[in-house]
A = this chain, B = another copy of it.
Amino acid sequence: MGTVYSKSEKAYLERIGNRIRELRTEGDLSQEKLAFACDLDRTYIGSVERGERNISVINLRKIAKALKIKVSVLLNIEE
């Protein structure tokens, strides 16, 4: 990641990634299947799940739609 994030920002991105992984595995989806469902690259999904991406709302919306939940539900985590 080019931009420098604070420790708490990095932790927030990791919580988002963990949340997406948790929801994906609950839905028995592989990273490939999730990536295909939301028209994003499989390696991008992997980097998001590892908390390496300051993900945009449009990509969050794509992932949430593919996981069949609302973005606000996906982001209902510790901030």
Contacts and interface: CB of A to CB of B under 8 A. Distances in A.
Interface of A: 5, 9, 12-13, 16, 54-58, 60-61, 64-65, 70-73, 75-77, 79
Question: How many chain copies?
Answer: 2
Nearest to A8: B61
5 contacts: A9-B58, A55-B57, A71-B79, A72-B72, A72-B73
Given A56-B57, A71-B79, 6 more contacts: A12-B58, A12-B61, A13-B57, A54-B56, A72-B76, A72-B77
Contacts of A64: 79
A58 B14 CA distance: 12
Contact of A55 (B56, B72, B76): B56
